Structure 1
């Protein structure tokens, strides 16, 4: 049954998703696209984009949308799709909540313990690796297009990526402003290239 599969899948992601929401993205993508085939890579890319634009943690938002989309692609009705989103969200949050309650109780007491420090120091490279995997996961044909199919669109997408990085890193422009600027530039580009229907 898909609800049980959703629960088990997102429970495992919640349990092992070190590095926060962006660290979970590669795990979620592997499970919902490659392992269970609940959606296509294009669907997942759209879900990640929506998750980043809506309020809340990106990992939880992605789980919510992925649960809904998985049921929708199975042909379920609206009510079951909502239950799917609730199942995926609860399963993702549940192990994290339990772990944080346990850790917060003992962390301050044992944070200077050599064994605890060793475990935390050992997790840092794994977190960096998960974040790097999430970055590479988003550098796909679905996000940037294909140079061989649409060279102008590909160059525009890559240019927006570089522009966003430079503005945030060196000019300290807020991410929300850059989202607005990129959305506006995307609309203008689509209008200029005839992407809108009359």
Structure 2
């Protein structure tokens, strides 16, 4: 009985010390992690729009953030749109660059991925991400095996079709999410009780 009580006390004390240690370490490391994430986002926003020099962060009521990207002359060049989805190995975070009319992608940067190193990990390589530059976004990005024949197609990575498909889905979902926010309908629907004539 004495041993059982002693064992419970030792385990409880060990658990408390471990929890406190982890909490303190987290508090010390969290600001650095946040700084690194902010730096990666800044670099990605500027990388996905050719000629980008600066950007402004836009927050929408839906707690959604996107970025207006400007050239040296202050002219709006396009938008940086953050997107996320699930790939073969877990969550993938990307930044998609698009023209001001949201009809063409200007670039793609994978910010975070836990895809299988080797095959699925190729989505983080420049060769794959460059396939999204000057890519037509309408009627939607399509994934093809082999050579692409249309301006809205992306060639899948051999042996990593699931990861390639995930990136294409993330891009399409991201455009669908931001299009009504950035380019609201020029003809809003009438409110309830209004005459639509």
Q: What's the TM-score, normalizing by structure 1?
A: 0.27
Greater share of strand residues, 1 or 2? Answer: 2
Higher helix share: 1
Larger Rg: 2
Which structure is richer in relative contact order (CA contacts within 8 A, separation 6 or more)? 1
TM-score, length-scaled by structure 2: 0.28
